[in-house]
Structures are given as structure tokens and as C-alpha cells.
């Protein structure tokens, strides 16, 4: 039995998040953070936020000379961008230290906040703003109700837990917006559509004219002055705000977008299943409008695929790809089907069975026992008498001993949806986070 696991090779990764500053655009692919020139998108530098395949950055927040990066629901990474071209990591705060499972950032009254499973926390001092048993999806400070948060498409007062209405996200307008002080923009994610509207400082919907319904499942929103840029799986919608009205101004049917930034009056920065790139809104001296250009490709989420001794073909939201073990990832014209999820494996004298909730039952001649892993398991294979598990947050190996099973593991960008035993004893993996690779024991 080995002492540890390590990633021997990895490839892929989703373009998970972006944020645009005064002169530079910060973009992530997988665990890598790229610094790009705001004007043109040329790459200036890059820094790894985690070990190879160790996580995917899902959100970024820029606050002056500080950049916050969110690695899945596991960790907040604080970086200094006092030298904007050369970010440096200042600190890491794991979910256990935060007391919540971090999912998203927000600015609240000028202070950066992270929220997610279990509540919301102010990043400046680690103080708790909301404590609950569910997933917080939005938070804002209001004039009349104080801190208000959203969960399960419902709004509550953080102080009294009083039910206030319905919303998925909340964003306070700044002083230069064409609306009364204290006005909020709310997002309500519905089945196949997204509702956007205005609320008063009393956290009440203003009226029927201050509401718009947009096609598509909600993905992201950017509020700038009196403009609201809403991203859904159907494209980008631009809405204008007046004191008692919100109006749909323009729509751009671009599929697969995950996040948006503004680089100039006629240009968006976009990232999503295609990778990242610039989008020209209208015709100008640079070219034709409504064009996505200077695209740097990345891949979307992956599913388990068919494999052979050389590699594995996987399906992504953008098409098929083939990973050659220990070499690289390339596009392919067709995908020949998704492999079934393997949820049981047998070694001499024992069987491991993954239940629907991700728990693991070990069956031996001495009876059944529950195996406790650090996160829910999805798939399992047997390699040289050991059980290898693909889990929500990584891979774990259970070595069979005469006494209790021995456990070692490695954190990876998950969920790990497929494991493939290789001839040399290593194991290939496919991650739902869009990463493939090979892990070996040491």
C-alpha cells in the first residue's frame, strides 16, 4: 500500500470565471489564473491557484488591490494585485475555517462577502453575516431591512429570519444609477426563464413595469450603473433602469456563456463552454458587430466515456474530445456513447458497493461495514487488490489489510465521474469539472 497519491499528468479545464479591472482582465481556466491585457486580451502572465487538476476556480472578485478567487466549494484564495500584471497569493481560507461551503462572492456596502452552503461571511474579518441550514444564493444590505439574504428562491431578514419575498439573487444599485437610493435589482431563476426586476428600499417589488422575463436558465449578472447584463443559457440580455421601470434594450443569442465583463463601450469579455474571448457588440473600425473573436479554447463539463489502452473519448457540452493518457487532449468529430457509471468492484475476499447517497458498503466474509470517505463516492474500480474511489472532491484508495482498511487520497477538481485502470498500476480519471488525467500511488 502506498503512502500518497499524485497527479502524473492532467489536461483540460473549464473557463470558470472572469473579472475586468482598470487595465487588466483576470481569467481562469481550471486551476490557472491568467492576466490579460484589457485592450485586446493578450496574455501577460499566469499563476496556479492549486496543484495540477486540484480545483477549478468558479468565481472571482476584485476589490481594489485585492483579488479573491473561489476554488469550487472548498477554498477562498486571496491574491494581491498591487502589481496588476503579477498577482501573488496572500492567503488561503478553507471551508472549515469559513464555517460555510463557499459558492459565490458579492460586494455588500463596499465590503467583499462570500456565501454558499450554511450562510455568508465577511472576508475582511471572517465575521458571520448569515447562518442557516440551506444554500444562500444572494445577499445584500438594505436601508429598511438591514442585511437580506436569499435561499431556495426566498428572501429573509438576516436579523429576524422574517420571510420578505421571492428572489434568487439581490444586487444594490449604486448612487449613479437612475433610481432612488436603496433600490435593489433582483434575479429570480425560474424553470427555463429568468425574471429580472426592481425592489424598493423596503424590499418590495416596485410594479409590473419594473420587471422583465428573459428566455433561458440563469447563469450570471453584471450590474453597472443603470445597466443590467444578464447571462442565461440562451444568451446575453441588456436591460436599462429608470426609477420605476426596467426595460429590455438588447439581446445577443450566444450559447454557452458562463460569465461576462465589460472591457470597452463596444466590447464584452466573455467566458464559458467555448473558452474565453472578446465580443464586439456593434460594427466599428475593428470589424463586424455581434462577433466573438480572439477566442482561447477550453472545454465544458465532461461525462464518462469509452476507453481503450491508449486513451478515453469523452463528451463535453461543446463536443467530443479524446484524451491520450499522459499526453494530451484533442477534439474529435464524434463520441461513441457515455460509459455506464461503475458503482461496485470486487477484490479477493471483499466487495465495495456505492449506495445512491454516495456512502460505501464493504462486504466481506465477516459481514458488512460502512466505509467513511471524506466526500460522497460516485465510482469505484479495483486495482492490484485495492479499491480506488472517484468522489465529489477527489480520489481515494482503500488498501486491504488484515485489520481496518487503510485510506489515502488526493483532492481533485470534482466530481470524478470515471476511473480507468492502466497497465502500470496508475489510474486515469475523468472529472465532471472538465479535467482528465492520470493519478499514481507513491
The whole-chain average pLDDT of the chain stands at: 94
**For range 391-395, the mean pLDDT:** 95
pLDDT of residue 22: 94
**For range 396-425, the mean pLDDT:** 87
**For range 115-135, the mean pLDDT:** 96
| Res. 376 pLDDT band, cuts 50 70 90 | very high
Whether this prediction's pTM lies above 0.85 is answered by: yes
**For range 202-210, the mean pLDDT:** 92
Indicate whether 320 pLDDT > 90: no
C-alpha span between 136 and 149 (Å, rounded):
7
pLDDT of residue 415: 96
* pLDDT > 70: percent of the chain: 98
pLDDT of residue 186: 97
pLDDT tens, residue by residue, 131-189:
999 999 999 999 999 999 999 999 999 999 999 999 999 999 998 999 999 999 999 99
pLDDT of residue 404: 60
Indicate whether 335 pLDDT > 80: no
pLDDT tens, residue by residue, 46-98:
999 999 999 999 999 999 999 999 998 889 999 999 999 999 999 999 999 99
Indicate whether 318 pLDDT > 80: no
Indicate whether 401 pLDDT > 60: no
**For range 346-374, the mean pLDDT:** 91
**For range 389-398, the mean pLDDT:** 96
| Res. 227 pLDDT band, cuts 50 70 90 | very high
Residue 391: name the closest of 72, 63, 118 by CA. 72
Indicate whether 405 pLDDT > 80: no
**For range 29-57, the mean pLDDT:** 95
pLDDT of residue 310: 96
* pLDDT > 90: percent of the chain: 86
| Res. 403 pLDDT band, cuts 50 70 90 | low
Indicate whether 334 pLDDT > 90: no
pLDDT of residue 399: 83
pLDDT of residue 1: 53
- Residue that is written with C-alpha cell 474529435 in the block: 332
Whether 51 and 38 have beta carbons less than 8 Å apart is answered as no
pLDDT tens, residue by residue, 262-289:
999 999 999 999 999 999 999 999 999 9
Residue 436: name the closest of 420, 425, 332 by CA. 420
**For range 120-135, the mean pLDDT:** 96
Amino acid at each position: 500500500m502506498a503512502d500518497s497519491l499524485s497527479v502524473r499528468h492532467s489536461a483540460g479545464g473549464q473557463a470558470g470565471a472572469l473579472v475586468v479591472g482598470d487595465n487588466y482582465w483576470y481569467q481562469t481556466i481550471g486551476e490557472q489564473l491568467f492576466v490579460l491585457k484589457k485592450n485586446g486580451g493578450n496574455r501577460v502572465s499566469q499563476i496556479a491557484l492549486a496543484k495540477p487538476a486540484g480545483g477549478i476556480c468558479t468565481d472571482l472578485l476584485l476589490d481594489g488591490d485585492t483579488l479573491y478567487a473561489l476554488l469550487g466549494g472548498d477554498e477562498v484564495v486571496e491574491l494581491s494585485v498591487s502589481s496588476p500584471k503579477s498577482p501573488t497569493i496572500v492567503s488561503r481560507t478553507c471551508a472549515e475555517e469559513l464555517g460555510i461551503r463557499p459558492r459565490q462572492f458579492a460586494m455588500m456596502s463596499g465590503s467583499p462577502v462570500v456565501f454558499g452552503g450554511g450562510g455568508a461571511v465577511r472576508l475582511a474579518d471572517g465575521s458571520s453575516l448569515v447562518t442557516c441550514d440551506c444554500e444562500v444564493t444572494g445577499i445584500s444590505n438594505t436601508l429598511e431591512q438591514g442585511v437580506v439574504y436569499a435561499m431556495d428562491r426566498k428572501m429573509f431578514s438576516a436579523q429576524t429570519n422574517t420571510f420578505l419575498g421571492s428572489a434568487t439573487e439581490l444586487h444594490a444599485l449604486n448612487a449613479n444609477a437612475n433610481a432612488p437610493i436603496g433600490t435593489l435589482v433582483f434575479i429570480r431563476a425560474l424553470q427555463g426563464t429568468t425574471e429580472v426586476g426592481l425592489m424598493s428600499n423596503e424590499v418590495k417589488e416596485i410594479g409590473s413595469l419594473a420587471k422583465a422575463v428573459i428566455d433561458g436558465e440563469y447563469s450570471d449578472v453584471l450590474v453597472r450603473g443603470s445597466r443590467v447584463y444578464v447571462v442565461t443559457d440562451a444568451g446575453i440580455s441588456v436591460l436599462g433602469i429608470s426609477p420605476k421601470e426596467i426595460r429590455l434594450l438588447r439581446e445577443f443569442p450566444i450559447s454557452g456563456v458562463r460569465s461576462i465583463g465589460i472591457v470597452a463601450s463596444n466590447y464584452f469579455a466573455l467566458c464559458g463552454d467555448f473558452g474565453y474571448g472578446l465580443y464586439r457588440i456593434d460594427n466599428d473600425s475593428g470589424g463586424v458587430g455581434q462577433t466573438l473573436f480572439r477566442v482561447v479554447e477550453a472545454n465544458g463539463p465532461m461525462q464518462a466515456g469509452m476507453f481503450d489502452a491508449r486513451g478515453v473519448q469523452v463528451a463535453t457540452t461543446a463536443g467530443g474530445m479524446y484524451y491520450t493518457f499522459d499526453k494530451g487532449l484533442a477534439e474529435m468529430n464524434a463520441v461513441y456513447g457515455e460509459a455506464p457509471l461503475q458503482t461496485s468492484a470486487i477484490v479477493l475476499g471483499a466487495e465495495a458497493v456505492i449506495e445512491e447517497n454516495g456512502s460505501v458498503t464493504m462486504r466481506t466474509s465477516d459481514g458488512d461495514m460502512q466505509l467513511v470517505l471524506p466526500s460522497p463516492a460516485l465510482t469505484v474500480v479495483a486495482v492490484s487488490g485495492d479499491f480506488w474511489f472517484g468522489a465529489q472532491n477527489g480520489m481515494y484508495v482503500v488498501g486491504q489489510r488484515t485489520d481496518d482498511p487503510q485510506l489515502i487520497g488526493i483532492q481533485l477538481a470534482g466530481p470524478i465521474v470515471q476511473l480507468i485502470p492502466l497497465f502500470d498500476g496508475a489510474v486515469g480519471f475523468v472529472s465532471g469539472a472538465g479535467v482528465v488525467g492520470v493519478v499514481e500511488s507513491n
